Amino acid sequence: MTISQDLFDRAQASIPGGVNSPVRAFNGVGGTPRFITKAEGAFTYDADNNKYIDYVGSWGPMILGHNHSAIKQAVLEAVENGLSYGAPTETEILMAEKVKALVPSIEKVRMVSSGTEATMSAIRLARGFTGKDKILKFEGCYHGHADSLLVKAGSGALTMGVPNSPGIPEDFAKHTLTVSFNKLDEVKEIFAKFGEDIACIIVEPVAGNMNCIPPVAGFLEGLRAICDEYKSVLIFDEVMTGFRVAKGGAQAYYNITPDLTCLGKVIGGGMPVGAFGGKTEIMDYIAPVGPVYQAGTLSGNPIAMAAGLKALELLDIDGLHDELEAKSKRICEGFKAAAEKAGIPLTTNYAGGMYGFFFTSEETVTTYQQATECDLERFKKFFHLMLDEGVYLAPSAFEAGFVSTAHGDAEIDATIAAAERAFAKL
């Protein structure tokens, strides 16, 4: 019995499923989740003293590697002045100014404490601003677990096979329309039917909750044009892609300007933070200046702001994201070559510091349907072989992988060498 097994047994007696967020329970891959005791740079360590090259990166935020010394220092300095005030601080202004400088489509920004809060609030704002009720999302895209967004969702909802959760009244869900990601024709069709009632389109500009699926050429441009035509709000959910795909997020990478942007994870540098922002005209519709209510006791928390601001400052280096993308590319090409050697069909995708690999013989994977038709059994085996090799991949075939600046050549070479051995055993 390992210490992780022992802890998992104990956890299950007091915490539903032993975890505070479903995918952590290894439901998608089976086996015992590793209980982590510390993380440093590219590595995590578990309770049994195993060391892993980590590609989860706290599900995205650790772009600079775990426990970055400057972020840690910023937190320690902030802690000296108290943990929370429930009153405004200058650090919040600095944070807002930094976000605006990095993401020019954001003219005003409101801090929240999670990605779920960011998307939930952005949707409410879009509905309030347009006076329309319906929203359009894409099958397999995950935008947190707010009621209207947990419809045909990705991530844990997809991993666990519960794309529609009980507890969401039909009356709520009926306002959420869903079509296929990367299928502009379907978007046009549904707008032709319901366009006048659609408050917004919300999209992950690079889908990262059904593995990693970048937009096909023209898709995001098409969404922009449709939103302009019907006066719907275009919301980019950049909780995962923000500051990861490029300094200015996927909107900079693909050069498309959304009306609202949701951010999360990354802007807390590892602390619980999210944000939504965009055009002044829309953002000024929110309380206390506007009629749409939104609030949060811990929003803009001084410790979280100190960590996040430092992370954004450190990320604001020219060439850093090219370096991240080069790492994603090396992993994808390395995995592909290793799989080929073992006679296993594999397809890969990447954008900036996020990547994905699919056990499929399809040449490219661009749709939700293709992602769900991959060989999940093979993924499970591969995941565990890699874990045994000391490589911690996302424990689900429906999550993206994340690299950080702390992943050096040595770690990436070791990962590809481990993959070669793992593919050979499949």
Applying CB under 6 A, the residues found at the interface with ligand PMP are 59, 114-116, 119, 142-144, 155, 204, 208-209, 237, 239-240, 264-265, 274
**Closest CB to ligand PMP among residues 205, 302:** 205
**Closest CB to ligand PMP among residues 59, 243:** 59
Q: How far apart are CA 319 and CA 139, in angstroms?
A: 33
Torsion angles phi and psi, residue 329, rounded to 5: -65, -45
Active-site pick, 46, 55, 134, 142 = 142
- Residue 265 bears catalytic tag: yes
Per-residue tokens: 328: 């994603």
For residues 302 and 145, the answer to whether their CB atoms sit within 8 Å is no
- Residue 254 bears catalytic tag: no
Handedness of CA 73, 78, 84, 89 (dihedral sign): negative
Q: By Cβ distance, which residue is nearest to ligand PMP?
A: 115
Q: How far is the CB of 188 from ligand PMP (least distance, A)?
A: 24
Q: How far apart are CA 350 and CA 104, in angstroms?
A: 24
Active-site pick, 46, 54, 230, 237 = 237
**Closest CB to ligand PMP among residues 95, 412:** 95
Q: How far apart are CA 94 and CA 262, in angstroms?
A: 18
**Closest CB to ligand PMP among residues 95, 338:** 95
Q: What sections of 342-397 are H helices per DSSP? A: 368-372, 376-388
Q: How far is the CB of 291 from ligand PMP (least distance, A)?
A: 25
Q: How far is the CB of 57 from ligand PMP (least distance, A)?
A: 12
Q: Under 8 Å CB-to-CB from 285, ≥6 apart: which residues?
A: 125, 128, 129, 291, 292
Q: What share of the chain is helix, strand, coil (3-state, %, to 5)?
A: 45, 15, 40
**Closest CB to ligand PMP among residues 4, 148:** 148
Active-site pick, 265, 279, 310, 327 = 265
Helix (H, G, I), strand (E, B) or coil at 234: strand
- Residue 237 bears catalytic tag: yes
For residues 119 and 239, the answer to whether their CB atoms sit within 8 Å is yes
Residue 215: DSSP 8-state? P
Q: How far is the CB of 404 from ligand PMP (least distance, A)?
A: 17
Q: Which residues are catalytic?
A: 142, 237, 265
